[in-house]
Structure 1
Amino acid sequence: MAFRKAPPSFETRMASLKKLSDIVEENKERLIEAVYKDFGLRSKEETLFLEIFPLQDEIRHAMKNLRSWTKRRSVPGSWFLLPSTAYFQFQPLGAVGIMGAWNYQVLLTLSPLVDAIAAGNHAILKPSEISPASAEVIKEIINSSFPKEYIHCVTGDAELAKDFSAQPFDHLFFTGSTRIGKLIMAAAAPNLTPVTLELGGKSPAIIHSSYSIKLAARRIMAGKLFNCGQTCVAPDYIILPKELNSEFEIQAKAAVGNFYPDISSNEQYSQIINAQHFDRLNTLLKNAEELGARIVELSSEKSSEDQQLMTPKLVLNVTEEMQIMQEEIFGPILPVLNMDSVEAAVSYINDHPKPLALYYFDDKKKRINWVLKHTMSGGVLINDTVYHLAQHNLPFGGVGASGMGHYHGYDGFKTFSKKRAVMHQKRFAASDFLHPPFTDAKKKLIKFMGRITKV
């Protein structure tokens, strides 16, 4: 799949980024309406705030910094190779494949494209078939704006996705579930295609007993209920001491009431993507209740299967054997796990697959640093949820079961680039004296070099 012509110039990359920004702006309302159609109902403000705005800001960030990212960088040469010089430069990998995700189709398909363009690659996009309306709009605006041999978009079902991931790309980028991520990696393996996997997992939120429960509940529920919980970095469960359950329940209900006073009739609270996912969430709730959990409704209104409307819920008295604690929820359901100490919470988290995000609510710097030192996750946000995703100067990506590789900003540019090493030897070089045959004098020199480099 690698192209044989010279890669796109700096000017071409900048023009392409500007064009991408322009077509997103020109088709902003079409994209918002398509996303709304895919979900049956999704807040237009959420699509604008959580997809269009961060995408445009990411393009702006890339254009502002691209010249410095592409600069050749000199490094100190090894002393025994003097007077040679050494440097590295980033070069495009070639042709890359990008597979988007249904929950934020616009952002998660086009954000990796920003990085791929900035790095100078050709790209083929495959939006998720689960959100077909937005996939078709993306396909139309991309294919009508860029040459097919440069940037192209295809749409299709799961079978096409399988074939897509088996193509001999120079890099493959996938956003989705851990289960599908394993299949993508297996399909790419025969071609030795390097992959970036942006997956999910169970992202915990730990609340220290000294922190404001009102503030923690408000910020956790805000992050949890964006897109009705269908967000890869949404808090998946919380950990707090049992004596704080009642207060958290009160404050969580208050937060939901403030955010969504008329859940069933307003245009602010999103629906579940499809009937299959709606049924899966109800199965999780039923299993938890059968095993002794208490379901707490956070809204005075009821869920509606006809509308695929699921109201926010807390799940108390959860235990490890419940399905809700074994798989990513991806919905407006928040289990509460009770533990008396931060140490116990960290031990629990470390006994499970590494999460994509970890949220910790505490004002004590010493405890915060202890949690950072003793846990591993894709990212961390202290005293809030979700918004670390929008930090362009921070890498975004998982670890272990939550993914591999990074993107956003400079890290995304590097993901789609080859950091190529270059050494420039001079006409007269010290290394010329080390060619065979190894005379006694050369043997002594080599032995001397070994002695002075010994630690």
Structure 2
Amino acid sequence: MTANVVHLTESKKQIQQTARIFEEQRQAFRRNPDPSLTERRENLKRLKRLLLDNEDRLIEAVDRDFSCRSADETRIAEQMPSVQGINYALKHLAEWMKPSRRSVSMLFQPASNKVHYQPVGVVGIIVPWNYPLMLSMGPLTAALAAGNRAMIKMSEFTPHFSALIKELIEDRFPQDLVSVINGDADVAADFTTRPFDHLLFTGSTAVGRHVMRAAAENLTPVTLELGGKSPAIVSDDVPMRDATERLAFGKAVNAGQTCVAPDYVLCPADRLQTFIDEFRTRLASMYPTLRDNNDYTAIINERHYQRLNGLLEDARSKGAKIVEINPAAENLGDGGRKMAMHLVLNPTEDMRVMQEEIFGPILPVVTYASLDQALDYINDRPRPLALYYFGYEKDAQDYVTRNTHAGGMCINDTLMHVAQDDLPFGGVGESGMGHYHGKEGFLTFSHAKSVYSRQRINSGRFVYPPYNTPFHKMVYRMFIR
């Protein structure tokens, strides 16, 4: 049997399995359409125990997929937010589940209005490769808190982690409650065509468009967590050490393979050299070596490694100055997929680094003459997933906040808004739609059902026909004004 036939057969099996599990989950939801608080808490505790009992195995699997993924980065950026997100949901779930009372106009008294938050049903979650633990467990936490069943499509680029999480989920959860689907692009494409009650996709803007088209065939509501080019503004008076230290951390975590990583920097023209010098110093203090340093993560695969090198070559050929930051001057071109940080100076609009989301250790630096010029530069482009401003002057902070649009924002920091349990996370425009995390995750995977309730007294009969009575005229005078 040829490799292509084996591939097609395996994909077909996965697609058939997807269809079967989807139907099982739909039927299971019909049997239990509104799980109790106790059931939901038990499911979340089970998920938390899975993460805590298998921490080392999960970290090792991610490391194998990347060829070198910092264990501490996985703990800090994936394991810890996942566990803390579950803890936060456990603490607040009873409050979230309570029907909310709403006011009733005098016109409709006596009556009551409430909003009941019901599970939507079967939720589909599509996970990218860059943070496979956090970006599978975060949406799953929200889905289970809201009382849903969930199917998770893992990335084929993280085969070790995907196989492990499937094994662990199958060991802890019944298949008709939570299921993991693995497979290639054909399996992923089929996954998006299922009539889920909600579909959450995390990935590129280009693929997000395909996901939304497929979901539209079934009128499936979607949450799209995309990417884009997230800018960072360095003000003209912020201490450069402060700005570059936090920027270097945010850009170098996971070797820049982060959807909210700073994608380019806007720097005052007269501070450019200071920025370069300080950024180099701060980065070298965190990563004095790269090649054999387990703190510094590799690029996920050869395809993305070559893509990033192609971005650099394109910029260089079009006149950009490239500053490589390789503190120990090591030879990294030996197939290990470690890539040094590169600053791209004097980038122009025709360069791919200014057109595509970079998703790696490459940071273009654009100079500006005034803050308004910097904001115009940002606002002339698609709205980003994140925006970072560095400056301690409060009026300027407020000015930037009010005069830009982004999915989320940090002032004098990078990335950390994503880790806040009580802040919604999501994009806007080309960087996505919808939110999750914390209460917003619960609401995303819930249907807010309005319930208007009357008892024996029916004041509404006074407006029944026949019309044009004195009472009708009085009602019109009172309420149409």
Name the TM-score, length of structure 1 as normaliser: 0.98
Quote the Cα distance in structure 2 between the aligned partners of 1:14 and 1:177: 33
Residue 157 of structure 1 is matched in structure 2 by 184
Residue 422 of structure 1 is matched in structure 2 by 451
Local SS of the residue matching 1:380: strand
Give yes or no for contact 1:362–1:383 (8 Å, CA) kept in 2.
Answer: yes
Give yes or no for contact 2:111–2:454 (8 Å, CA) kept in 1.
Answer: yes
Deviation per residue, 1:390-416 (Å, 9 max, x gap) = 000000000000000000000000000
Deviation per residue, 1:45-87 (Å, 9 max, x gap) = 1101110111001000000110111011111111200111111
Residue 342 of structure 2 is matched in structure 1 by 313
Give yes or no for contact 1:42–1:268 (8 Å, CA) kept in 2.
Answer: yes
The Cα shift of 1:443 comes to: 4.0
Kindly report which structure 2 residues correspond to 1:96-135, keeping only aligned pairs within 5 A, or say none. 96-135=123-162
Local SS of the residue matching 1:420: strand
Give yes or no for contact 2:235–2:267 (8 Å, CA) kept in 1.
Answer: yes
Structure 1 pair 305–326 and aligned structure 2 pair: CA distance change class (3 A): farther
Kindly report which structure 2 residues correspond to 1:186-205, keeping only aligned pairs within 5 A, or say none. 186-205=213-232
Residue 203 of structure 2 is matched in structure 1 by 176
The Cα shift of 1:364 comes to: 0.9
Give yes or no for contact 1:301–1:311 (8 Å, CA) kept in 2.
Answer: no
- 1:367 aligned to 381, 393, 396, which one? 396
Residue 289 of structure 2 is matched in structure 1 by 262
- Tell whether 2:166 aligns with 1:139: yes
Local SS of the residue matching 2:387: strand
Kindly report which structure 2 residues correspond to 1:149-298, keeping only aligned pairs within 5 A, or say none. 149-298=176-325
Give yes or no for contact 1:232–1:330 (8 Å, CA) kept in 2.
Answer: yes
Moved more, 428-437 or 84-93: 428-437
Q: What RMSD over aligned residues (CA atoms) do the two structures have, in Å?
A: 1.1
Residue identity matched to 1:5: R
- Tell whether 2:416 aligns with 1:387: yes
Quote the Cα distance in structure 2 between the aligned partners of 1:302 and 1:216: 29
Residue identity matched to 2:203: G
Quote the Cα distance in structure 2 between the aligned partners of 1:333 and 1:280: 12
Kindly report which structure 2 residues correspond to 1:328-367, keeping only aligned pairs within 5 A, or say none. 328-367=357-396
Give yes or no for contact 1:293–1:318 (8 Å, CA) kept in 2.
Answer: yes
Moved more, 420-429 or 391-400: 420-429
Q: Percent identity?
A: 45
- Tell whether 2:34 aligns with 1:5: no
- 1:44 aligned to 68, 71, 81, which one? 71
Quote the Cα distance in structure 2 between the aligned partners of 1:92 and 1:15: 16
Quote the Cα distance in structure 1 between the aligned partners of 2:433 and 2:163: 28
Residue identity matched to 1:367: A
Residue identity matched to 2:430: A
Local SS of the residue matching 1:144: helix
Residue 62 of structure 1 is matched in structure 2 by 89
The Cα shift of 1:365 comes to: 0.8
Give yes or no for contact 2:238–2:392 (8 Å, CA) kept in 1.
Answer: yes
The Cα shift of 1:189 comes to: 0.7
Quote the Cα distance in structure 2 between the aligned partners of 1:363 and 1:95: 46
Deviation per residue, 1:13-61 (Å, 9 max, x gap) = 1011001000111111111111001001010111011101110010000
Residue 436 of structure 1 is matched in structure 2 by 465
The Cα shift of 1:448 comes to: 1.4
Residue identity matched to 2:266: I
Give yes or no for contact 1:217–1:251 (8 Å, CA) kept in 2.
Answer: yes
Residue identity matched to 2:375: V
The Cα shift of 1:442 comes to: 4.4
Quote the Cα distance in structure 2 between the aligned partners of 1:209 and 1:429: 67
Local SS of the residue matching 1:263: coil
Deviation per residue, 1:248-273 (Å, 9 max, x gap) = 11111111211111111111101001
Quote the Cα distance in structure 2 between the aligned partners of 1:174 and 1:76: 36
Deviation per residue, 1:333-372 (Å, 9 max, x gap) = 0000011111111111111000000000011111111111
Give yes or no for contact 1:252–1:298 (8 Å, CA) kept in 2.
Answer: no
Moved more, 269-278 or 436-445: 436-445
Local SS of the residue matching 1:360: strand
Quote the Cα distance in structure 1 between the aligned partners of 2:479 and 2:131: 57
Unpaired runs of at least 5, structure 1 = none
Equivalent pairs counted in the alignment come to: 452
Residue identity matched to 1:102: W
